[in-house]
Amino acid sequence: MRLHMGQVSLLRWVNNATITGWQPLWSYPSSCKISAFYCGAFSACTSAGTCACIDGFRPSDPDEWRLGQFVSGCSRVIPSDCEDGISTDSFVLLDNLQGLPANPQDTSEETSEDCEATCLSQCYCVAYSYDLSGCKIWYNVLLNLTFGNGTIHHTKISMRIGSHGKRRQGHIQHVMLVIGPIVVGLLIMLVIFWLYKISSRQTKVDGFLAVYTYTQLKRATRNFSDKLGEGGFGSVFKGTVAGPTDVAVKELKSFGHRDKQFRAEVQTLGLIQHTNLVRLFGFCSEGTRRLLVYEYMANGSLNSHLFSEGTSILSWNLRRRIAIGVGKGLSYLHEECRDCIIHCDIKPENILLDAEFCHKIADFGMAKLLGRDMSTALTTLRGTIGYLAPEWVYGQPITHKADVYSFGVVLLELISGRRATGNGNHRYFPLYAAAKVNEGDVLCLLVLDL
């Protein structure tokens, strides 16, 4: 029996000549016609009661879809290419949806071309529609979609899809046809030489972590010119490495035991592979320089969307998915890794969002490996005031429960939109929230704008 994101499933283990793994026997709700949130983002309910990705998208988690769990939704086949209002994306016309998605934003554009241009210039815009009623655009994600049954008039909506990969492929094919076999042979030789140069400058740690030189990372970050943020352990810069792939390069500050701290972080992160944890691509260790190379998260940290003025308010559904995702990430660290990993600093600043608003836990700079028997305790105060568990204050042994406490504070901030500290007369919001719950006044704790 399994409870996953509001769906109860009965699974059976199958091990035969054709298949090995869990197979679903029964689930409820068993149809998207029963539950409004049965299908996830960018997927639509079919006439058969199952979910299917819309054109240009594919399942975000194929394993969950195979088990009949569709709430993880779909993501673009080709990632969006948009930055500072400049985009090479294109649109695909969907004419098989039953009605328009909810919560569009009406604009004043008077032509279909102007409507498309407005959506293209806004990186958060995912779709637009233009008809006699005017121009409508949608931001971030599309939910609760339904495919038409072929017997009614269907609404036309244009979905944003990436085009960079398709354009590059077409360009290469054109060059090959024009220049001929001789130039193709030269290109192959150049590629082999380039791969050799890359392999000579990069080695592997534990089979998958790349080792970069300081010169490589200096070039990748354009001399560390695009600063994303700064924390207690160092500054983070945006860069681009071979691929091309956008990355976040964290340059650690010089401090005592820096080599020990650096190597502990690399060894810890090198073992971690989870959809709700920021992935480490590689590192640099030259002289006194210590740098880490992470995957790039385009939408920044959760706190910038929860507490900053002028940002769009996160929907309840997205807040729920963030809470579930962070919980999954912590569960993996605590229970599923070879050794229990305690993060020690769970807070909105360390929960990052990618271009599709997928959420991942970041900044393991203060993490420490503990044996599964919890016999080793952390003795040095770590973390951020407002999110620290009582064990830190009273000098008690620190276990994974300290992360659970911090996660609880983050959940309060998610549902209330208020920081744990610094809220007017309520200096520590969790205590205020506990008092209101005891009084039976729960609604006053919720986000007022939703």
For residue 181, say if its preceding peptide bond is cis, omega within 30 degrees of 0: no
CB within 8 A of 220, min separation 6: which ones? 212, 239, 240, 241, 247, 249
State residue 343's pLDDT score.
85
State residue 319's pLDDT score.
92
Residue type, 141: V
Secondary structure E strands in 318-440? 340-342, 351-353, 359-361, 368-370, 421-423, 426-428
Given a cut of 50, whether residue 169 has pLDDT beyond it is no
State residue 375's pLDDT score.
39
Long-range contacts of 69-72 (CB under 8 A, 24+ apart): 69/4, 69/5, 69/7, 69/9, 70/32, 70/38, 70/39, 70/40, 70/43, 71/4, 71/5, 71/6, 71/7, 71/37, 71/38, 71/39, 71/40, 72/40
State residue 370's pLDDT score.
42
CA 348 – CA 361 distance, rounded (Å): 9
Fold of 302-445: Transferase(Phosphotransferase); domain 1 (1.10.510)
Largest CA distance in the chain: 81
Nearest one of 195, 141, 363, 194 to 269, comparing CA atoms: 363
pLDDT digit string, tens, across residues 393-423: 787 888 889 999 999 999 999 988 888 886 5
pLDDT digit string, tens, across residues 88-134: 888 988 888 887 888 889 999 989 999 999 999 998 899 999 988 89
Q: How far is CA 148 from the centre of its chain?
A: 31
State residue 322's pLDDT score.
93
> For strand 155-161 and strand 125-131, is the pairing parallel, antiparallel, or unpaired?
antiparallel
pLDDT digit string, tens, across residues 288-331: 888 889 999 999 999 888 887 766 678 889 999 999 999 999 99
CA 237 – CA 25 distance, rounded (Å): 48
Given a cut of 80, whether residue 260 has pLDDT beyond it is no
Given a cut of 90, whether residue 247 has pLDDT beyond it is yes
Q: Which residues are designated catalytic?
A: 345
Hey, where are the domains in the chain?
Answer: 2-76, 82-162, 202-295, 302-445
CATH of 202-295, one of 3.20.20.70, 1.10.238.10, 3.40.50.2300, 3.30.200.20: 3.30.200.20
Q: What is the mean pLDDT of residues 182-196?
A: 79
State residue 266's pLDDT score.
78
Given a cut of 50, whether residue 151 has pLDDT beyond it is yes
Is 250 labelled a binding residue? yes
Q: What is the mean pLDDT of residues 196-212?
A: 60
What's the whole-number average pLDDT of the chain? 79
